[in-house]
Amino acid sequence: MNKNKLKEFIFSLCSVMSVSGFEKRAEKPITELTAGMFDSTLTDAVGNRIFIKKCGKQNAPRVLIDAHLDEIGMIVTEVCKGGFLRIANLGGIDVSIMQAADVIVYGEKPLRGVIASTPPHLKKDDKLPAFSELLVDTGLSEDTLKELVDVGTPVGFAPIYGELLNGRLIGKSFDDKACAACALLAIAETPGEELAADVYVMLSATEETNRLGGVAAGAFRCDPDYAMVIDVNLARVPDTKDYETVEMDKGISISLSAATDRRLSMATAELCRRKDIPFSLIAAPSSTGTNATTVNLVGLGIPTVDVGLPLACMHTYNEVISMTDAMSLARLVREFVCSKEIAAEMTREEVSLI
């Protein structure tokens, strides 16, 4: 895979507004970005986007590759006097990153805005405001604002992207659309005849906000024999604990957890070893903290492996990932869906209980 092509695809996909709960607004731009890449695609009732690529064999097993489509963001809770917008967070956002952040208000038309902040000169103490005390300033008057924005309007961080040294990318919502971009491009570039299973790539809805995640409904519909859930993982930075984080540029992580399938996880690790894809194993005792925990229990149960892409500054507008790791992820996705060994081992047997 071409590194620059993947980088540009990551930037394009992550630029699309998909604030949690508003994934259907991303339908059209994503259709444009993925034109011609898959055999078929659909958006389900919940807002999950499913892409299908068939391997062309009769009675082929089905494999699901899931990365969530939604991103953290905000929602307007009140159009206030004086032309300001009160907001609430959708997904986990630390209030300490909010003041003076660039945002876009996705009303009748997109409006640029900034979170109002109190200058240090006027502050009496170091206390942070509560999220409900934050206000978006769009520069518009109260009357104009009321015509363009209503309670319930989504607000997203501004899509501003760049590169650091050593192939690091910086910008918003790499969590989790950078992973989705790796999966989509990897599958699209794999010739159908090399696939070991019919592939369902799902960009799932409401991972950041729903207790189960929209993924439950989407996985039920796809009804795969086995699944890989890809989400970002906490990258190691000074002051983090080694056992809670993964190192950047050292490849992807594979979780070993009570919530996922051990056999599939070990088979995926073995695949990495065989194909020389850098990876690390991490322990995620009772839950992976990702969609994997949900997918594993959908329908009659779906053997699931949880894969992580290291990411620093998680849940901010300046998330950081490594292109080296992104390339490793794309390679793993391709090898995973082409692995005849894994397909043979995971194809379910029909068991009758009666």
The footprint of another protein (CB under 8 A) covers 20-22, 24-25, 44-48, 75-79, 86, 88, 90, 132, 150-152, 206, 209-212, 214, 216-218, 220-221
| Shortest Cβ 210–another protein spacing (Å) | 7
In whole angstroms, give the CA distance from residue 118 to residue 129: 10
Which CB sits closer to another protein, 212 or 313?
Answer: 212
Quote the tokens at residue 325: 């790791």
Q: Is the dihedral of CA 68, 336, 52, 320 positive or negative?
A: positive
Which CB sits closer to another protein, 48 or 257?
Answer: 48
DSSP helix/strand/coil, 28: helix
In whole angstroms, give the CA distance from residue 224 to residue 271: 20
Which CB sits closer to another protein, 88 or 266?
Answer: 88
* Pick from 64, 91, 49: nearest CA to 207: 91
Which CB sits closer to another protein, 160 or 220?
Answer: 220
Which CB sits closer to another protein, 268 or 294?
Answer: 294
| Shortest Cβ 285–another protein spacing (Å) | 23
| Shortest Cβ 219–another protein spacing (Å) | 9
| Shortest Cβ 217–another protein spacing (Å) | 3
**DSSP H stretches of helix in the chain:** 3-15, 27-33, 142-148, 174-188, 215-222, 262-275, 292-295, 323-338, 340-346
Q: What is the DSSP letter of 165?
A: S
Give every strand in the sheet of 162-163, ordered side by side.
162-163, 168-171, 319-322
Which CB sits closer to another protein, 10 or 222?
Answer: 222
In whole angstroms, give the CA distance from residue 108 to residue 104: 12
Which CB sits closer to another protein, 103 or 186?
Answer: 103
| Shortest Cβ 78–another protein spacing (Å) | 5
Identify the H or E element spanning 306: strand 304-311
* Pick from 205, 206, 192, 202: nearest CA to 224: 202
| Shortest Cβ 339–another protein spacing (Å) | 28
| Shortest Cβ 107–another protein spacing (Å) | 13
Position 9: which residue type? Answer: F
